[in-house]
Amino acid sequence: MIKNILLIGLGGFAGSIARYFVSRLNNHIELLSIPIGTLAVNVIGSFLIGFLVGISEKSPILTVELRMFLMVGLCGGFTTFSSFTGENLMLMRNGQFLPLFLYTGLSILLGFTAVYFGYVSTKLL
């Protein structure tokens, strides 16, 4: 139990740091006020989760411990639903409804597409 908690914590630590660096794209890329960094984090994280699920089904290479580290810790620390919803609230409060709907729609569509392609890509291995 302690081992799994430490693995998840280490993965979360690494994922959170990676999220910080990728989400800084918000400061450098402007596209209709859409938070590009958070969108990128969630799409990349979705692809990674799908890929890891596919690998887990295909091969015993991902032990339970490694899955805890990568899927629960790293991906859990990397993706950020709370940032996504907070940014949507700010768009709504600012009356930016087109960016709000685009960002929400793109996040769901691209996130699901990425998780699917991550999963399907393991079939090519």
Q: How do residues 43-97 score in pLDDT, each as one tens digit?
A: 999 999 889 989 988 888 999 999 999 989 999 999 978 778 888 988 999 999 9
Cα separation, 64 vs 8, in Å, equals 11
Cα separation, 81 vs 85, in Å, equals 6
**pLDDT of amino acid 18:** 95
**pLDDT of amino acid 37:** 87
Q: How do residues 8-36 score in pLDDT, each as one tens digit?
A: 999 999 999 999 998 888 787 777 888 88
Burial string for 27-37 (b: 16+ CB within 10 Å, else e) reads: eeeeeebbbbb
The structural domain count of the chain equals 1
- Domain extent, residue 55, equals 2-124
Question: For the CA atoms of the chain, what is the radius of gyration?
Answer: 16
**pLDDT of amino acid 115:** 93
